[in-house]
Structures are given as C-alpha cells and as structure tokens.
A = this chain, B = another copy of it.
Amino acid sequence: MFIFVLCLYFVMAKDTGAKISVKKDEDFSEWFTELMQKAELADIRYNIKGFPVYRPWAVRSIKKITRLWEAELEARGHEPVLFPLLIPESNFHKEADHVKGFTPDVFWVTHGGDKEFEERYALRPTSETAMYDMYGKWIQSYTDLPMKTYQSVNVFRYESKMTRPFMRTRELHWTEAHNVFATQEEALKDAKENLEITEKLLFGVMAIPHIFFERPAWDKFPGADRTFAADVLLPSGKVLQLPSSHMISQNFSKAFDVKFIDENEKETYAWITCYGPCHSRNYGALITFHGDDLGLRLPWDIAPKHIVIVPLLFKGKEEMVLAEANKLKEKLSKDYEVIIDTRENVTPGFKFNHWEMKGVPVRIEIGPRDIENQEVVVFRRDISEKLSVKLVDLDKHLQGIKETFTENMKTQAVEVIKEKTKDADTAEDIKKFIEEGNMVRTNFCSVEMDGEACAEIVEKDIGAEVRGVMFGKEEKAKGKCPFCGKEAKCVVYIAKSH
C-alpha cells in the first residue's frame, strides 16, 4: 500500500500546484514574499503602504494566539477593558519622554466630516496616555490595588523602515496589559510574571526559542524605567523583538496623577507596569522561524486545522471513497480540527503540496485499496514521515503525533539556533560573526547612558544593535569594551534587527 501511494504521488505530481521557487536559506526575502502568496497569508496589494490585508489562514492562527495570551492574562487576574483608539494630542504631551519617543511615529486625525478639530487626535501607537488619565480617576485607595487590565486592539506606528507583512507593519494587532500596584516590589514581580507568560507561550506553545534581555538605557520604552523583551534570532540572521514588558514605575503616575491613599493614610504615587505581546508579529516570527522550502510548519495548538483528509478519487470508486473519507472526518472531528479536500479539479499531488504549503500538521490519504485493507496513509509535517496505519490503530497513532508534534518542533528549533550565539572580543570578530547571521555576546563598557556612544559605533560600523544584558541570569564582564577600550561593566548581546 505504501509503495502504491508513493507511485500515485509521483504520477499525479505533474500538476504540482503551489511551490516556492527559492530556498529559504538562500534567498530569505523572496522565500517570505512567495510564502505570503502561496500559503495565502497576506496580500500586500492594498493601496496604502505598510497596511497588508491578512487572509483567513493567517487570521485563524492569530486569533488562536490572541486567545492563548488572553487566557494566561485572565488566569493571573487581568480584566478586559476597551479604551478608545483616538488619543488627544494634549494627553500625549503629558509625559516628556513618551511624547519625544512616539511623536515621529504617530498618525494624526484632524477632521470629522467637513469639520477640522481644534485639537488633533493620535491613532494610539500604544495606550498609556489614553488609559492612565482614567486610572487616576478610578484609583483612590490601596484597596483599589492591584488593578490589572488588558485589551486586545489594533495600534498604529508610522514606520519609516521597510515594512513587511506581520513582521513590521503600520497597523499591528496586539494585546496590551496595563497594571497598577501599591509598591515597586509588586510591580517588578508583575513584570517578571509577564515574562513567564511569554516563556510559556512563545516557547512552550509556539516552539520559538528566545532570550530575555533588559534593554540598555538608550533603548527603553519611552517613559519607562526598565524594559525587558524577548528577542528571537530568525533564519534571516536578524533578531525580532517579541513581547516586551516594562517597568513604567512612577513616571506616568506623576504625569497623570495616578495616586492613592495607602494603608497609613498617606498619599502615594502608584507603580505601573505594561506588557505588549503583538500577535501579528508573533505570527510573523512563527512562520519565519518554522517555515521550510515546502511552506509553513505550524505547531499543533496554532494550526487552524490539525488534520487534512485527502480522498484519492479513482474512477468509478469516487462515491465509495468519499463516503469513507467523510465518515472518517466525522469521527476525527470529535477530537481534532479536521478539513477534507474533496476538490475534483486538482490532483491529489496538488492537494498534498497545497496543504504542506499551509502547514497542516497531519495529512490522511484514503483510497480504494486503503479501504479494502482497513488502513490509511498518515503524513506528519514536522518530520515528513509517511506511514500506512491500520484503522484500528489510528486513534493511538494520532494521539502520539499530537503529543510529540510541538515537542519535535521545539527540539528542531533549539538545534537551529544552538550554534548561532558567538562569543567575540574584538570589533572585527563581532562584525564577521554578525555578517554570518549570528548573534554575538561580548563585554561592553556600559548599558547606562554613558554606553550609548559605543552603541552608535556598533550601529554605524556593523549595522547592528546592542540588544541589552541577559535578564534573569547575571553574566559577569571581564576585560575591556571592544569599542572604547574602557573597563567593561557588563556582557551584552549584539545582533542585526528586523
């Protein structure tokens, strides 16, 4: 049976359907562009630059990602809110660093119908300046704290860099959590708890290995005291910043008058944190990291469908095969999200390629001989294994795939980036490693503001960025900074970024 199906596969494969014309590790950019079209994920022909249209196969996964994050936030006591998209310019001006950091990136609404507004309204690039004004009104006493909220909304950044669907766009789909505490300790605990959510979902569910950094002083979120972020090194050889968590601390509390009467009846400014997992970008990292030359590979809990059934419609046996395939679909749908491809105008080979391109974890092929033999052919996308499986064993076999699928992808992913972090002591070595698509670990003078001059050298001479010091694991510096020759105070990681 196995050999028979293989033969059929190669015979039918003349009409192969969608295939990517380049190899991912030879021309990443073209690979990504073709993936967008051929897996039907995004369309960049919408007539505003940086605003792609997201298609059903991608949106289904983005919705799953969003719900996973919402569930984790709710389990930790965050409550959903909905704040307006528009933010008055005057709100924006209340926190000096924030306005400086975000103003160049803001889209402005100036008119309603024919009327010009007296004040311009920003499309939120992030919601601190919308929310904290209201928090000041809601929070009176320590009994109102902690207050932990989230909203899943669209945000807007007028990006000047080159845009690319999911990875860097002018409209983003994210969840933002904004949280208020009575003490600094509680706020820091929350910021760390948010990193745990990132770890659980980004690696645990999405199989994306990443490193948590604390960003250097010159690269913090505008208005924050400390910024922590997960960086993932993509096959492009560049890192992408994924969910970031910020100690907003008291800067915004002072700007927006978020204070409360504490247990000793003293008026105190509150401590604020925020956390912003961007789901369209998480999805971008996911498909970029796991995709291969055949298309998408999707972790089990992110795939829109777990199983595709392809009935092999031999002449005269169509009805019988379709009936069995539909029966199988109904049975499997109790435990899995199942789709059946009954198209008559394309070959099985075309369908195989189509669903491999879309990254469905499991394909089940069923033809007249399989039915006769009481078996099916099962293909799994993670390790490209294709086996004949007796129907009586199918439940157990699929359960086995479900249990190992994402775990396999994790192992593969860790393998891919294992060799990609290099140690270097000199500017020359750093440059060489970076150009070869690595991330580099090096001693560095300082991640306080006095180190910014060296970071500028890194940017100018190497075209890369100082991403920060590893968070949660202290790494002791020794020797000199490769750029200014001063005593190194810290160990930093350098990489190109998307």
**A residues engaging B (CB < 8 A)?**
43, 45-48, 51-56, 59-60, 62-63, 79-86, 88, 90-91, 103-115, 120-121, 123, 130, 133-134, 137-138, 143, 149, 151, 153-154, 156, 158, 171, 173, 345
Check if B107 sits within 8 Å of A81, measured CB to CB: no
7 CB contacts below 8 A, A to B, read A43-B137, A47-B91, A51-B84, A59-B79, A106-B112, A107-B109, A109-B109
| Shortest CB distance A104–B (Å) | 4
> Given contacts A108-B111, A137-B43, are A63 and B80 in contact (CB under 8 A)?
yes
> Given contacts A104-B113, A110-B108, A112-B158, are A59 and B82 in contact (CB under 8 A)?
yes
Q: In the bound complex, what is the Cα–Cα distance between A103 and B113 (angstroms)?
A: 6
Q: Can you add 19 more A-B contacts, CB < 8 Å, to A106-B112, A109-B123, A110-B110?
A: A47-B88, A47-B91, A47-B133, A48-B88, A51-B86, A54-B81, A54-B83, A59-B82, A59-B151, A60-B80, A63-B80, A86-B107, A86-B171, A105-B113, A106-B113, A109-B110, A110-B111, A113-B158, A154-B154
| Shortest CB distance A119–B (Å) | 9
Q: In the bound complex, what is the Cα–Cα distance between A153 and B85 (angstroms)?
A: 12
| Shortest CB distance A342–B (Å) | 13
> Given contacts A88-B48, A108-B111, are A81 and B103 in contact (CB under 8 A)?
no
Check if B84 sits within 8 Å of A53, measured CB to CB: yes
List the 8 closest pairs (A to B, CB-CB), nearest first: A112-B158, A56-B79, A51-B84, A54-B82, A108-B111, A59-B80, A104-B113, A110-B110
Q: In the bound complex, what is the Cα–Cα distance between A133 and B46 (angstroms)?
A: 8
Question: Please, which residues of chain B bring their CB within 8 A of the CB of A48?
Answer: 84, 86, 88, 121
- Contact partner of A171 (CB less than 8 A), chosen from B62, B85, B120, B137, is B85
Q: In the bound complex, what is the Cα–Cα distance between A104 and B112 (angstroms)?
A: 8
Check if A345 sits within 8 Å of B143, measured CB to CB: yes
| Shortest CB distance A121–B (Å) | 7
Q: In the bound complex, what is the Cα–Cα distance between A395 and B231 (angstroms)?
A: 49
Q: Which of A55, A112, A120, A130 has the most CB of B within 10 A?
A: A112
| Shortest CB distance A382–B (Å) | 25
The oligomer's copy count stands at: 2
Question: Please, which residues of chain B bring their CB within 8 A of the CB of A82?
Answer: 53-54, 59, 62, 173
| Shortest CB distance A159–B (Å) | 9
Check if B84 sits within 8 Å of A46, measured CB to CB: yes
| Shortest CB distance A480–B (Å) | 40
Question: Please, which residues of chain B bring their CB within 8 A of the CB of A108?
Answer: 109-112
> Which residue in chain B gives the minimum CB-CB distance to A149?
B56
Question: Please, which residues of chain B bring their CB within 8 A of the CB of A63?
Answer: 80
> Which residue in chain B gives the minimum CB-CB distance to A83?
B53
Check if B43 sits within 8 Å of A134, measured CB to CB: yes
Question: Please, which residues of chain B bring their CB within 8 A of the CB of A110?
Answer: 108-111
> Given contacts A53-B81, A81-B59, A171-B86, are A46 and B104 in contact (CB under 8 A)?
no
Question: Please, which residues of chain B bring their CB within 8 A of the CB of A62?
Answer: 82
Question: Please, which residues of chain B bring their CB within 8 A of the CB of A53?
Answer: 81-84, 134
Q: In the bound complex, what is the Cα–Cα distance between A302 and B88 (angstroms)?
A: 33
| Shortest CB distance A179–B (Å) | 13
> Given contacts A108-B110, A109-B108, are A137 and B45 in contact (CB under 8 A)?
yes
Q: Which of A80, A90, A130 has the most CB of B within 10 A?
A: A80
Q: In the bound complex, what is the Cα–Cα distance between A104 and B84 (angstroms)?
A: 21
Question: Please, which residues of chain B bring their CB within 8 A of the CB of A173?
Answer: 82
Q: In the bound complex, what is the Cα–Cα distance between A296 and B60 (angstroms)?
A: 34
> Which residue in chain B gives the minimum CB-CB distance to A74?
B60
- Contact partner of A81 (CB less than 8 A), chosen from B55, B80, B153, is B55
| Shortest CB distance A64–B (Å) | 11
Question: Please, which residues of chain B bring their CB within 8 A of the CB of A104?
Answer: 113-114
| Shortest CB distance A23–B (Å) | 28
Question: Please, which residues of chain B bring their CB within 8 A of the CB of A143?
Answer: 345
Check if A154 sits within 8 Å of B59, measured CB to CB: no
> Which residue in chain B gives the minimum CB-CB distance to A91?
B47
Check if B121 sits within 8 Å of A111, measured CB to CB: no
Q: In the bound complex, what is the Cα–Cα distance between A243 and B149 (angstroms)?
A: 29
Question: Please, which residues of chain B bring their CB within 8 A of the CB of A47?
Answer: 88, 90-91, 133
Q: In the bound complex, what is the Cα–Cα distance between A83 and B158 (angstroms)?
A: 17
> Which residue in chain B gives the minimum CB-CB distance to A141?
B345
Question: Please, which residues of chain B bring their CB within 8 A of the CB of A51?
Answer: 84, 86
